[in-house]
Chains A and B, each alone.
Chain A
Amino acid sequence: MASVALSESEHSHAVVDHHHEELSFLRKYVFSTDHKIIGVQYGITALLFLLFGFVLMMLMRWQLAYPGKPLPWFGDWMWLLLGKKNAALLMPDGVMSPDLYNSFGAMHGTIMVFLGVVPLGFAAFGNYVVPLQVGAPDMAFPRINMASYHSFLWGGLVMLISFFVPGGAAKSGWTSYSPLASIADTAYHPFWNGQTMWLLGMVLLITSSLLGSVNFIATIIQLRAKGMSWMRMPFFVWAQLVTAFLLLLAFPPLEAAGVMQLMDRVAGTSFFLPSGLVVNGQHFSALSGGGSPLLWQHLFWFLGHPEVYVILLPALGMVCEILATNARKPIWGYPSLVFSVVAIGFLSFIVWAHHMYMTGMGTKVSAFFQTTTVIISVPSVVILSCLLISLWGGSIRFNTPMLFALGFLPMFGIGGLTGIPLAFSALGSYLHDSYYVIGHFHYVVAPGVVFGLFAGVYHWYPKITGRFMNEFWGKVHFWITLVCMNGIFFPMFLQGMAGMHRRWYDGGAAYELSKPLLHWNEFMSVSAWIMGLAQIPFIINFFISFRTGKKASDNPWEATTLEWQTPTPPPHGNFATEPVVYRGPYEYSVPGEAKDFSPQNEPVKEYNKNL
Chain B
Amino acid sequence: MEIPYTVKARPDTGLWNAKVGIWLFLASEVMLFGGLFSAYIFLRLGSWHWPHGVLNIPIGLFNTFVLITSSVTMVFAWASLKMRNLHKFEWFLGITILCGFIFLGIKSYEYYEKFHHYGLIFKNEAVANRYRAEVEAAGGQIKPSIIEGQYEVTGHIEEMDEETMKFIPDSIHSSEPMVQIVSVLQTITGKKTEHGEAVVFQQDDIYRWGPFVPRYSSYFAIYFTLTALHALHVIGGMVVMAYFWIPGRKLYHADPEHFTNRVEVVGLFWHFVDLVWIFLFPVLYLL
Interface, chain A (partner B; CB < 8 A): 1-4, 6, 8-15, 137-138, 140-142, 144, 210, 213-215, 217-218, 221-223, 248-257, 259-260, 263, 267-271, 275, 286-292, 294-295, 298-299, 302, 572-574
Contact = CB atoms under 8 A, between A and B. Distances in A.
Contacts of B146: 289-290
Contacts of A259: 36, 225, 229
Q: Which 5 A-B pairs have the closest CB atoms?
A: A256-B35, A573-B1, A253-B35, A268-B215, A252-B32
A378 B232 CA distance: 43
Given A4-B10, A287-B210, A290-B46, A223 B217 contact: no
Please report whether the interface of chain B is mostly helix, strand, loop or mixed according to DSSP: helix
Interface in B1-23: 1-8, 10-13, 15-18, 20-21
B31 A4 contact: no
A215 B3 CA distance: 13
26 contacts: A2-B12, A4-B8, A4-B10, A6-B1, A8-B8, A12-B7, A13-B251, A14-B6, A15-B3, A137-B3, A140-B3, A140-B20, A214-B24, A217-B20, A221-B20, A222-B4, A252-B28, A260-B221, A260-B225, A263-B221, A267-B221, A268-B215, A271-B43, A288-B217, A290-B46, A290-B147
A248 B35 contact: no
B102 to A, nearest CB: 26
Interface in B174-231: 208, 210, 213-218, 221-222, 225, 229
B258 A11 contact: yes
A13 B251 CA distance: 9
Q: Which of A12, A260, A286, A292 has the most CB of B within 10 A?
A: A12
Nearest to A254: B35
Contacts, number: 188
A268 B214 contact: yes
B8 to A, nearest CB: 6
Indicate the size class of the contact surface on chain B.
35 or more
A573 to B, nearest CB: 3
Contacts of B28: 210, 213-214, 248-249, 251-252
A222 B35 contact: no
B29 interface: yes
A290 B8 contact: no
Contacts of B254: 11
A468 to B, nearest CB: 28
Given A140-B20, A572-B1, 13 more contacts: A1-B12, A9-B2, A15-B1, A15-B3, A141-B17, A213-B28, A214-B24, A223-B17, A249-B27, A249-B31, A255-B35, A260-B221, A295-B38
A24 to B, nearest CB: 21
Given A252-B32, A260-B225, A299-B35, A10 B8 contact: yes
Contacts of A213: 24, 28
B57 to A, nearest CB: 24
B3 A218 contact: no
A263 B215 CA distance: 9
Contacts of A14: 3, 6
B243 interface: no
B214 A267 contact: yes
Contacts of B4: 4, 6, 8, 10, 137, 222-223
A253 B7 contact: no
Contact of B2 (A15, A217, A248, A257): A15
B217 A10 contact: no
A583 to B, nearest CB: 19
B68 to A, nearest CB: 25
Interface string B104-123: 00000000000000000000
B31 A253 contact: yes
A595 B174 CA distance: 84
Contacts of A10: 2, 4-8
A94 to B, nearest CB: 42
B10 A222 contact: yes
A282 to B, nearest CB: 15
A295 B39 contact: yes
A6 B29 contact: no
Contacts of A287: 208, 210, 215-216
B161 interface: no
A292 B46 contact: yes
Interface string B138-175: 00000000111000000000000000000000000000
Contact of A4 (B5, B17, B29): B5
B58 interface: no
B192 to A, nearest CB: 30
A4 B15 contact: no
B35 A11 contact: no
Nearest to A302: B35
B264 to A, nearest CB: 16
Contacts of A13: 251, 258
Nearest to A296: B39
Contacts of A251: 28, 31
Contacts of A252: 28-29, 31-32, 34-35
Nearest to B258: A11
A571 to B, nearest CB: 9
B12 A248 contact: no
B39 A218 contact: no
Given A13-B258, A14-B6, A142-B3, A290 B35 contact: no
B32 A269 contact: no
A138 B6 CA distance: 12
B2 A271 contact: no
A244 B175 CA distance: 47
A256 B37 CA distance: 10
Given A10-B8, A11-B255, A248-B27, A137 B2 contact: yes
B279 interface: no
Given A256-B36, A295-B42, A286 B208 contact: yes
B5 A222 contact: yes
B20 A222 contact: yes
B114 to A, nearest CB: 14
